[in-house]
Amino acid sequence: MFDYTIQNSCLKDKTILITGAGDGIGKQAALTYAELGATVILLGRTVEKLENVYDEIVAAGNPEPAIVPLDMKGATKQHYIDMTNTIIDQFGKLDGALLNASVLGELTPFVNIHEQTFDDVMQINVKAQMMMAQALITALQKANKASLVFTTSTVGGKGRAFWATYSMSKFATEGMMELIADEFEGTNLRTNAINPGGTRTAMRATAYPGENPDTLATPKDIMPLYVYLMSDDSAAVNGQILKAQ
């Protein structure tokens, strides 16, 4: 695992948005950030899942979260601008954004990639992330030290047979992260990407149906890197692709 000792209350007074906060790694990140004192903004497409995470955070006595139900497949640039304005009205600034939500699409030979699947995966994994980041940067610039975190995958740095559009979308994610990091180098905003590595979630089970999930790290196991990149300890880290395991 990424070597970082998590300190109690290290995210106190921070406001952090997490996409895909209803399930998998995003859900765990939301619970962990709230436990460490952050006010979390839970973005996802299934309201019921977001409400469950909200309830869990409140029941644990952690800061009351906000919920943003949004399907990144259909959301327009205006949705992201409106959401950012609401965040600025309510919290005055955004300290961190974990862009975690994505979809796998279909694992298939390259020649069989369906145009519609390509469009859907690229819409959610690339275009929506771009529009969201464009809007959120306005709120991130209002924080003292701000962290924008993208989520990549091993197939985002090295193409692998049958990983199709998902692999291409993660290459684009890494490129987007690097160009934002370079543009904002030396400012209050740092931008990095996490490669979580094989983690016990629904997406992983779909990608590797024959695998025993007990052999995998849990979302909780990989949290040290997720916390590090949101804490002020990583203030000088910019433009990096870091492995959680």
Q: Which parts of this chain interact with ligand NDP (CB under 6 A)? A: 20, 22-26, 44-46, 49, 71-73, 100-103, 124, 151, 153, 196, 198-199, 201-204
What CA–CA distance (Å, rounded) separates 17 from 43? 7
What CA–CA distance (Å, rounded) separates 198 from 222? 10
User: What is the closest distance, in whole angstroms, from the C-beta atom of residue 124 to ligand NDP in the complex?
Assistant: 5
Q: CA-CA distances (angstroms) from residue 25 to 87, 105, 106, 226?
A: 23, 18, 20, 10
Q: Which residues pair with 18 in a beta bridge?
A: 42, 98
The amino acid at residue 130 is: M
User: What is the closest distance, in whole angstroms, from the C-beta atom of residue 160 to ligand NDP in the complex?
Assistant: 12
What CA–CA distance (Å, rounded) separates 85 from 127? 20
- Residue number with CB closer to ligand NDP (103 or 229): 103
Q: Which residues pair with 149 in a beta bridge?
A: 98, 192
User: What is the closest distance, in whole angstroms, from the C-beta atom of residue 10 to ligand NDP in the complex?
Assistant: 22
What CA–CA distance (Å, rounded) separates 151 from 166? 12
DSSP string computed for 51-91? HHHHHHHHHTTPPPPEEEE--TTT--HHHHHHHHHHHHHHH
Residue 162 tokens read as 């049958």
What CA–CA distance (Å, rounded) separates 235 from 123? 30
Using the 8-state DSSP alphabet, how is residue 181 labeled?
H
User: What is the closest distance, in whole angstroms, from the C-beta atom of residue 176 to ligand NDP in the complex?
Assistant: 13
User: What is the closest distance, in whole angstroms, from the C-beta atom of residue 216 to ligand NDP in the complex?
Assistant: 7
> What is the set of active-site residues?
166
Residue 109 tokens read as 């030979």
CB nearest ligand NDP: which residue?
24
